[in-house]
Amino acid sequence: MKIFKIMAIAALLVLSGSVASAQQSKSDETLEFRPHWSIGVQGGAGYTLGKANFGKLVSPAAVLNFQWQFHHAFGLRLGLGGWQGKGVVNAPEEAIFPFRYGQINADVLMDLTSLIGGFDHKRLCSAYVFAGVGAAYGFDNASAVPYMAELQHYWENKFFVPGRFGAGVDFRLSDVVSLGLEANAGMYSDKFDSKYEEKSPLDWQFNLLGNLKFRLGKNTRPYQGSSDKVGADDAAAAAAAAAAAAAAAEAERLAAEKAAAEKAAAEKAAAEKAAAEKAAAEKAAAEKAAAEKAAAERAALASENSKDMKFAIGSAVIRKGDDAKLVELAEFLKANPDFSVDVVGYADRETGNPQINLEVSKKRAEAVAAKLVSLGVEESRITVDYKGDTVQPFPINEQNRVVICTVK
């Protein structure tokens, strides 16, 4: 029948809507579902199934609902509703008669979207189905009186116990308010429309209702499991941060130690270099001082032991008084083998001539050198030279008749 096709299409739309909505992102995992009450007002059209044009059997319907959502996917609903139903008499001619009824409904609801996709307090669209039972009271059936002959189950006032089922969809307008659409069907005994239907033991009442619902109280609360997770995550993050800080501190300490060690090594190397340079300078200075001292001492010894031998005019014979000088010189040279001696002969310029004087100075130098050799001085340590009268070492003429023995 047409109404069943409409119900089937509505059910498919609800199911597809629930699947699509379930694919939305889940809510904040730190919150969980909290049981809560809601109150809703439904209004729309009812259709009592009968053998007449569809529009002729449409009548108004309204419901006031109180809902207890004890689980994110399941709830209980108590409804107070009714308004008007219509019956039809087809013979001898078609006639429509209205009647009134009131009904209390108790339904179990299942939120398909939350069942499939989990709890999400910010979900925009939720689809649900329900099934339940009711207690209906029919009254004001006077319009059926003229047709009592054709109505096998005419009643004036009567109780019915219908079963019911349906589906709907809610659209979240805010955290408190939602707007929805619901299609439901009620199954009454065959006496609901006062007629007897041989082929069906039930009378059907279909409703298409708009729904305005207000939530009473919060539907979320902190999720302890999530808090534990957050706490564990915080602890892990804190531990990781502490480990990172410790690693950074250790790296900084090692770097500081390395820098300090490098600085100490550099300072030590610089100090050692400075000490070595100072020691080398001191050594060089000491060596220089020692060398200068040794040179000075040597020069002093050389000067002290250098001798002058005077000669008579024109003579190359060593005076007896100078033998002692040559002995002393020879003993010094033998005692100090690192010294040598320069023996240089001279002649005075006022006596003779340059040729004679050169020859005389030569003989004088050779005589002194020979004497030293005879006293034990190696000939290789004696250097012999003669100047004649070309050089006058003394300002007094007579003093230039001399052989100067210079120790070196």
Contact predicate 105/63, CB 8 Å: yes
- The confidence score (pLDDT) of residue 25 equals 45
Q: How confident is the model at residue 8 (pLDDT cuts 50, 70, 90)?
A: low
Q: Which of 113-117, 260-264, 296-300, 365-369 has the lowest mean pLDDT?
A: 296-300
**Which CATH number applies to 2-222?**
2.40.160.20
- The confidence score (pLDDT) of residue 46 equals 94
Q: How confident is the model at residue 236 (pLDDT cuts 50, 70, 90)?
A: confident
Whole-number mean pLDDT of the chain?
A: 88
Question: Does residue 375 register a pLDDT over 80?
Answer: yes
Question: Does residue 181 register a pLDDT over 70?
Answer: yes
Q: How confident is the model at residue 63 (pLDDT cuts 50, 70, 90)?
A: very high
What are the structure tokens assigned to 169, written together?
């969809």
304-407, CATH topology level: 60s Ribosomal Protein L30; Chain: A; (3.30.1330)
- The confidence score (pLDDT) of residue 300 equals 87
Q: How confident is the model at residue 230 (pLDDT cuts 50, 70, 90)?
A: low
- The confidence score (pLDDT) of residue 290 equals 85
Q: How confident is the model at residue 195 (pLDDT cuts 50, 70, 90)?
A: confident
Question: Does residue 98 register a pLDDT over 90?
Answer: yes
What are the domain boundaries of the chain? 2-222, 223-260, 304-407
Give the rounded percent of residues in the chain with a pLDDT score beyond 90.
63
158-180 pLDDT, tens digit per residue, is 999 999 999 999 999 999 999 99
Question: Does residue 10 register a pLDDT over 80?
Answer: no
What are the structure tokens assigned to 167, written together?
């589906």
β-bridge partners, 128: 111, 168
Q: Please list, in sequence order, all residues whose beta carbon lies within 8 angstroms of the beta carbon of residue 86, skipping any fewer than 6 positions away.
A: 48, 50, 56, 57, 58, 59, 96, 97, 98, 99, 193
Over residues 258-268, the mean pLDDT reads 93
- The confidence score (pLDDT) of residue 311 equals 92
CA-only gyration radius of the chain, Å: 71
- The confidence score (pLDDT) of residue 9 equals 60
Q: Please list, in sequence order, all residues whose beta carbon lies within 8 angstroms of the beta carbon of residue 205, skipping any fewer than 6 positions away.
A: 46, 47, 48, 49, 85, 162, 185, 186, 188, 192
- The confidence score (pLDDT) of residue 286 equals 87
Q: Comparing C-alpha atoms, which of 133, 179, 139, 183 is closest to residue 7? A: 183
Question: Does residue 22 register a pLDDT over 90?
Answer: no
Q: How confident is the model at residue 343 (pLDDT cuts 50, 70, 90)?
A: very high
Q: What is the C-alpha to C-alpha distance for residues 134 and 166, in angstroms, rounded to an integer? A: 13
CB-hemisphere CA count at 13 Å for 70?
5
Q: Which of 8-17, 49-58, 245-254, 365-374 has the lowest mean pLDDT?
A: 8-17
Question: Does residue 88 register a pLDDT over 80?
Answer: yes
Looking at per-residue pLDDT, the higher value among 105 and 94 belongs to 105
301-332 pLDDT, tens digit per residue, is 888 888 899 999 989 999 888 888 899 999 99
Contact predicate 366/384, CB 8 Å: yes
Q: What is the C-alpha to C-alpha distance for residues 263 and 266, in angstroms, rounded to an integer? A: 5
